Amino acid sequence: MKKAQIQMGETIAVLFVFFILVTVGFIFYVKVIKGNIELESEELSQLKSVAIAQRAMFLPELQCSEDNIAIDNCIDILKLDSAQALMRENEVYYYDLLEFSDISISQIYPSEAKWNVYSRKTDEFKSKFVTNAPISLYDPITRKHGFGVLTIETFLK
Amino acid sequence: MRKAQMEILGLAIVVVLILVATIFVVRFMVIKSPTEYRKGFISAELASNMLSTFLKTASKDCSYLTMTELLQDCAQTRSIICDNGLDSCKYAESTASKIFDGTFDKWNMKYEFLAYTDASQPLIKIGKACTAEKRSKLFPIPINIATMYAKLDICG
């Protein structure tokens, strides 16, 4: 084999190794970018679930009020039945607000009870978050507060 | 430049490339972790909501007195005896236990609830003290002689 042929062989070997390195680097770069996109998507899903939970916690259809002043962290149990019917009748409006989610209220004290306020579930979800918020359940007839938990399940595609 | 010098330069370039690649790997794979927006929101809301809701709750067998009123009596005269025979301290404690059973215990969360005028001698203590990170909420409750406090720590 002549010297020139050997040098050509060397150059081809070096180029081969170089392209392998470039390919490995590119694959790694794509993996990192994909990981970052997944990470951002996870963060966005979390923020979306928090936004839906907050919307549910401050729904005027459920919130207690006194002299037209809304009371935070409190649900009027007399409003619950009307709210359930209202949400069923205006499904599209509430879908814009609460998307695919399931909202229920469980009373723990003084007695146990459960209300399902809104339910629109999907089987094709990518992530599901469950948020539990302790909430005061106000009975305007007796003017007494009970203890309950607002459970918001969000299904995100 | 001689051939040997060229080869050394080539090696140096390879070393620099490997170093850059290592820094890149460490930068993206090790340091970055997802921000827990939801966890922050939940733990910030939970302690505060739990305590404020509990204090507003009306008792079932104690003339509908709120937990705040029962705790105030517990820290002062202990003159209230509920329909089930428990005094204000015991009644508030049993109600808190019942509520935390249905919430924190069900959600597998560690917590500690304290009601006290003097932190070293709590009137009510439920749960175990957190050993590491915790979210804490303290509610002052006015009483005749001083101020009493209801404190809730949520661990993790």
Q: pLDDT of A9-46, one tens digit each?
A: 988 998 998 899 889 889 988 988 888 888 888 888 88
| Interface contact A43-B35, CB threshold 8 A | yes
Q: Which pLDDT value is given to residue B32?
A: 64
CA angle (A7, A11, A17) in 5-degree steps = 145
Average pLDDT over residues A48-69: 87
For residue A43, the model assigns a pLDDT of 83
Set of chain A residues whose Cβ sits within 8 Å of the Cβ of B95:
109
* H helices, E strands: number in chain B: 4, 4
Label residue B23 left, alpha or beta by phi (over 0 means left) and psi (-120 to 50 means alpha): alpha
Q: What's the pLDDT tens digit per position in A105-156?
A: 999 988 999 999 898 888 888 888 888 889 999 999 998 999 999 998 988 8
How does DSSP assign A44-104, residue by residue? HHHHHHHHHHHHHHT-TTTEEEETTEEEEEEEEHHHHHHHHHHHHHTHHHHHHHH-SEEEE
> With b meaning 16 or more CB within 10 Å and e meaning fewer, what string describes B101-138?
ebbbeeeebbbbbbbbbeeeebbbebbeebeeebbebe
User: Which residues in chain B are closer than 8 Å to A32, comparing Cβ atoms?
Assistant: 24, 28-29
Q: Which one, of B7, B15, B16, lies nearest residue A10 by Cα?
A: B7
pLDDT attached to residue A2 = 81
Can you give the pLDDT at residue B33? Answer: 66
Which residues make Cβ contacts (< 8 Å) with residue A46, sequence separation at least 6?
A: A129, B36, B37, B38
pLDDT of residue B10: 83
- Residue B143's pLDDT is 92
Q: In chain A, whose CA is at the least distance from the CA of B95?
A: A109
Q: Mutate one of A24, A30, A41, A109 to test the B interface: name it (highest B CB count within 10 A).
A: A109
Nearest to B41 among A25, A32, A50 (CB): A50
Q: Which residues of A touch B102 (CB under 8 A)?
A: 108-109, 149
Q: What pLDDT, on a 0 to 100 scale, did the predictor assign at position B67?
A: 95
pLDDT at B1 over 70: no
Per-residue pLDDT band for B92 (boundaries 50, 70, 90) equals very high
**To 10 degrees, the CA torsion angle through B52, B53, B56, B59?**
-140
pLDDT at B114 over 80: yes
CB B107 within 8 A of CB B99: no
Q: Where are the beta strands (DSSP E) in chain B?
A: 111-116, 124-127, 134-142, 147-155
The answer on pLDDT for B29 being more than 70 is: no
Chosen from B7, B56, B97 to mutate, greatest number of chain A CBs within 10 A: B56
B27 touches chain A (CB under 8 A): no
Q: Write down the pLDDT at residue A35.
A: 84
- Residue A49 pLDDT exceeds 80: yes
* Element housing B19 (H / E): helix B3-25
The complex scores an ipTM of 0.77
pLDDT of residue A12: 92
Residue-wise burial string across B43-57, b where 16 or more C-beta atoms lie within 10 A, e elsewhere: bebbbbbbbbbbbbb
Burial zone of A6 (CB within 10 Å; 0-12 exposed, 13-18 middle, 19+ buried)? exposed
pLDDT at A107: 94
Q: Looking at the predicted structure, is the pLDDT value of residue B24 above 80?
A: no
Q: How far apart are CA A4 and CA A7, in angstroms?
A: 5
Does residue A8 carry a pLDDT above 80? yes
Task: Please report, for residues A46, B27, B49, the alpha-carbon distance to residue B30 in angstroms, rounded to integers and kept in the order given.
Answer: 22, 6, 36
Mean pLDDT estimate for chain B: 87
Strand bridging mode A69-76 / A127-139: parallel
Q: Is A49 left (phi over 0), alpha (psi -120 to 50) or beta?
A: alpha
Kindly state whether A140 is in contact with chain B, defined as any CB-CB distance less than 8 angstroms: no
- Average pLDDT over every residue of B61-84: 92
When CB atoms are compared, the residue of B25, B41, B49 closest to A134 is: B49
Run of H or E residues at A130: strand A127-139
Residue B30 — pLDDT band, cuts 50, 70, 90? low
